């Protein structure tokens, strides 16, 4: 499977007996808006500790980069 912000595509495996193929499908949106809506909804419903966990992931990512 190839997946990016432009869309997605399923590429069949050569040795598979159950062939599945789906040509490139253009995304109807960039996905970021839905991601933010979901994140804000979760923070509102489950509390600020969810945001803390997300920030810990960002800090760890930046620490590895430097």
Q: Domain residues for 36?
A: 31-66
Domain assignment present for residue 24? The answer is: no
Domain assignment present for residue 20? The answer is: no
Q: How far apart are CA 10 and CA 2, in angstroms?
A: 6
Domain assignment present for residue 25? The answer is: no
Residue 32's H or E segment, with its range, is helix 32-46
Q: Record the pTM.
A: 0.43
Q: What is the pLDDT of residues 31-42, one digit of tens each?
A: 788 888 888 898
Q: How far apart are CA 53 and CA 47, in angstroms?
A: 11
Domain assignment present for residue 56? The answer is: yes
Q: What is the pLDDT of residues 9-59, one digit of tens each?
A: 777 777 777 766 667 777 777 778 888 888 889 888 988 788 888 889 899
pLDDT of residue 19: 63
Distances (CA, A) of 36 to 6, 32, 54, 63: 18, 6, 12, 24
């Amino acid at each position: 499977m190839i997946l990016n912000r432009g869309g997605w595509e399923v590429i069949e495996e050569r040795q598979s007996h159950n062939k599945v193929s789906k040509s490139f499908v253009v995304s109807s949106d960039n996905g970021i808006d839905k991601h933010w809506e979901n994140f804000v909804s979760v923070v509102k419903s489950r509390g600020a500790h969810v945001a803390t966990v997300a920030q810990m992931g960002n800090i760890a990512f930046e620490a590895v980069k430097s």
